[in-house]
Structure 1
Amino acid sequence: MSKLLTPKTILAIKDLPLAAKAIVDGFLTGMHASRMKGVGLEFSQYRSYQPSDDLRWLDWKMYARSDRYYVRQSEIETSIDIQLIVDGSNSMQHTEDGVSKMDYARYLAAALGYLSHLQGDATGLAVMQSAGMISLTARREAQHMARFYYQLEQLQPGGRFGEAHQPHLMFSGPHTRKLIIFISDFYEQQEEMFKLLESMAAMGHEVLTFHLAGNHEMQAQFGGYQAVEDLETGEILQLDGKVDTDTYAAAWRNFTTRISNRLMEKQIHYKLLSLQEPLDTALRDVLLQRAKMRR
C-alpha cells in the first residue's frame, strides 16, 4: 500500500471530493486499466445492435469492416446500485493517532462513492443515529454526488445506532438487488446492527461490512489512563492497575469472531480495518464483490 494513502496524509486534505479522488487514483495506479471497465473506460465486448439501443454506442469502425451494426457493450449496461450505510453513533468519536473512527468512515465512504460513480453505478447513503436516519436514494448524476459529499462532510457522531424500522425504504431505485456497504465499529446495545444486516441479506442484497477499530483498542494499549468511558452509554470503567492484556486480547478475539461467524452464516462479507491502515484497503473487496454480482 502506498504511504501516500495513510489516514493521516489523506485526512490532511480538507476537500472531501479531492481526498476521495486521491484515494481512488492511488489505488488504481497499482491495477491494470484493462480490468476497470465502465464509463470512459474500456468496454467489455461487442454485440449486435438492437432497435432499442442508444445510437451513441454504435461502433462505426466495426460497421465499416463488417457492414453490420455493432454496439460497444459497456459495463454501464450491468451497473448496480451501491448503498453505503455509516454508523453515526457516539462511539465513532473514538480517536487514535489523530484519526477518529468517524473521520476514517467519512473518507472511506467518500472514496467508495467516488469509485462507484466512476464505474457508472448509482450511489446512495444512509447514516444511522438514534436521533434519526439521514438517507440519500442511490443516483448517478454529478449533482447527486455533490449532495453525497456534503452529507458526509456535515456528519457528526451522536447518540446510539438507530434502528431502521422500515429498512426497505433505504433501497428505493431502479434496481431490486443492491450492493450494501456497512461501515461501523460494531458497538451496539440490543443487536440492532445484526437485525438490520440480516434483514438486508434476507431481501437478497449483497452485503459487505467494514469493522473499524484502532490498534490501541485492539491491543489494550491504555497506558497512562486511569479510566475509560463508554462513549454511547457514558459508563465509566476504572482501570485499577495494569490491564491484563492476555485476557483483553482473548475477549477481543471472541468479540470479532462472534461478529464474523454470525455474519458469515448469512453470507455477509466481514472485514476488520485498523484506523492506522491505508484507506484504499477496502476498495479491492468492493470491486471483487461488484464483479461477482455481475456474473
Structure 2
Amino acid sequence: MARVRVLPESARSPRRQETESALSLAHRMPRLVLEARRVAANLAHGIHGRRRAGVGESFWQFRPFVAGEAAQRIDWRRSGRDDRLYVREREWETAQTLWVWIDRSASMGYSSELAQAPKVERAIVLGFALASCFVEAGERIGMLGLMAPRATRQIAETMAQTLVADRASLEEDLPPSAPIAPQHEAILISDFLSPVRDIAATVEGISSRGARGHLVMIVDPVEETFPFQGQAVLHDLEDGLSLRIGDAEAWGRTYRERIDAHRSELRELTRRRGWTFTIHRTDRPASEVALRLMTLVSASRGAAVGGR
C-alpha cells in the first residue's frame, strides 16, 4: 500500500522567514525556480505569436497596391522591378498576454510515495516553466489577482517573489473570476476538487469577454487509483474533517466513479466554453504537460484566427 503525506501549511505558505523545519515555500522557492528553468530549457520549440499585418517595424511581405489606398504606402523600389505597384506590409508586433493562476490551497499539499513531487510543487514548477517559455517567445505573463502582465526574462523569479509576498490567497482553491481581455488567455493549475458549479462560475467569469483558457488538473497517483484496503481514515484537507471507513476497497469503487463523473463534467464545461482540459499525474515528468500546454495554446490561437 502506498504511503502518503500531507505538507503542512508552512510548506505551502509564502513566509519570508524560514521555519524551523526549513520546509516553507519561501525556502524551497529557489529550487523550484531552477527546476522550472530546466523544464523550460528541455522544451525544444517555443510558441510564436501569430503573424499578421499591422503596426510594427519588422517587414512581413509585399502585396499589390489597391486602388483607393494612400499613395505614400507604395514601395517604389519594389514597384520599379515590376509593372505593378506594391505596398510594403509590416508585421503586427502586439504581444500576446497569458494569465497564470496556481492553486496553493490545503489539498495541493498532498503527496504519496508514488509521486515525483507534491502537487503544489509540481504546479509551481509548471507555471514558472510555461511563463519562461512564453516570455522567450515574446509573450507577456500576468498572475490572476496578483501580478500585472510583464515580459521580463526573469519572469520565473518575479513570479516566485510574488508568491512569497502573498498570503491572502493561500487558502483560495479557485482564482478570482474577473474577466480578462478578449485576446488574452488564462492557464489555471489546480487539482480542481471544488464543486463543478463553483469551477463553472470561475470559468464563465474569466471568459465573459471572450478570453480563452486552459484547465490543468494536477493529481497524485494515489488519488487516481485509491489503492487502500481494510479500515482507513480519510481526511478532508480543506475543511479539516475526518471519516473512518470499514471497507476501503468497496468505498474506493464508489470514489473512482465519482472522480470519473467529476472529470466528465469538467470536460463538458471546457468544451462548451472553447477551453481545454488536461490531467497531469505527479509521477510523470513536468516537461510532458508543459509541452502539451504550449501546443494547446498554439492551437487555440490558430482556431481563433481561422474563426474570424
TM-score (norm 1): 0.70
* Partner residue of 1:204 out of 191, 199, 210: 210
Contact 1:185 1:213 in 2 (8 A): yes
Q: Measure, in 2, the Cα distance between the counterparts of 1:183 and 1:124.
A: 14
State the 1:250 CA deviation: 1.9
In the alignment, the residues of structure 2 paired with residue 70 and residue 20 of structure 1 have an alpha-carbon distance, to the nearest angstrom, of 41
In structure 2, distance between residues paired with 1:163 and 1:242: 33
| Distance in 2 of aligned mates of 1:191 and 1:285 | 25
Q: Check if 1:73 corresponds to 2:91.
A: yes
Q: Which moved more, 1:259-268 or 1:155-164?
A: 155-164
For residues 95-119 of structure 1, give each alpha carbon's deviation from its aligned partner in whole angstroms, at most 9, with x where no partner exists.
Answer: 1235211111100000110111011
**CA offsets per residue over residues 109-138 of structure 1, 9 Å max, x none?**
001101110111110012xxxxxxx51011
| Cα-Cα RMSD | 3.6
Q: What's the % identity of the aligned pairs?
A: 16
Structure 2 counterpart of 1:21, which letter? R
Instruction: Provide the C-alpha distance between the structure 2 equivalents of 1:221 and 1:80, rounded to a whole number of angstroms.
Output: 44
Q: Is the 8 A contact 2:36 2:129 kept in 1?
A: yes
Residue 107 in 1 paired to residue 125 in 2?
A: yes
Which of the residues 167, 171, 190 maps onto 1:159?
171
Residue 265 of structure 2 is aligned to residue 258 of structure 1: yes
Letter in 1 for 2:246: D
**Alpha-carbon displacement from aligned partner over 1:19-76 (angstroms, at most 9, x marks no partner):** 2232122121xx5x8xx546xxxx969x7xx9x643xx469xxx999989967737x4
In structure 2, do the counterparts of structure 1 residues 293 and 16 end up closer, same or farther at CA, with 3 Å as the change threshold? farther
- 1:268 corresponds in structure 2 to 275
What amino acid is the match of 2:171?
Answer: G
Aligned to 1:289: 300
> How many residue pairs are counted as aligned between the two chains?
252
Question: Which one of 96, 105, 108 corresponds to residue 92 of structure 1?
Answer: 108
Match of 2:138 in 1: 120
Residue 161 of structure 2 is matched in structure 1 by 150
**Does the 8 Å CA contact 2:135/2:155 hold for their aligned counterparts?**
no
What's 2:13 paired with?
Answer: none
**Aligned-residue offset at 1:146:** 3.5
Q: Which amino acid aligns with 1:115?
A: C
The SS at the match of 2:43 is: helix
Equivalent position of 1:140 in the other structure = 151
Letter in 2 for 1:159: E
* Structure 1 residue ranges without an equivalent (≥5): 1-11, 127-133
Alignment partners' CA distance in 2, 1:231 and 1:82: 30
For residues 144 and 104 of structure 1, do their structure 2 counterparts lie closer, same or farther at Cα, with a shift above 3 Å needed?
closer
| SS class of match (1:253) | helix
Give the deviation of 1:289 after TM superposition. 2.6
1:131 is matched with none
Q: Is the partner of 1:92 in helix, strand or coil?
A: helix
- 8 Å Cα contact 1:260-1:270 kept in structure 2: yes
Q: How far is 1:202 from its partner?
A: 2.3
Partner of 2:200: 194
* CA–CA distance in structure 1, aligned partners of residues 146 and 199 of structure 2: 17
Larger Rg: 2
- Give the direction of change, closer, same or farther, for the CA distance of 1:248–1:162 in structure 2 (3 Å limit): closer
CA contact (8 A) 1:160 1:232 kept: no
What SS is found at the alignment partner of 1:248? helix
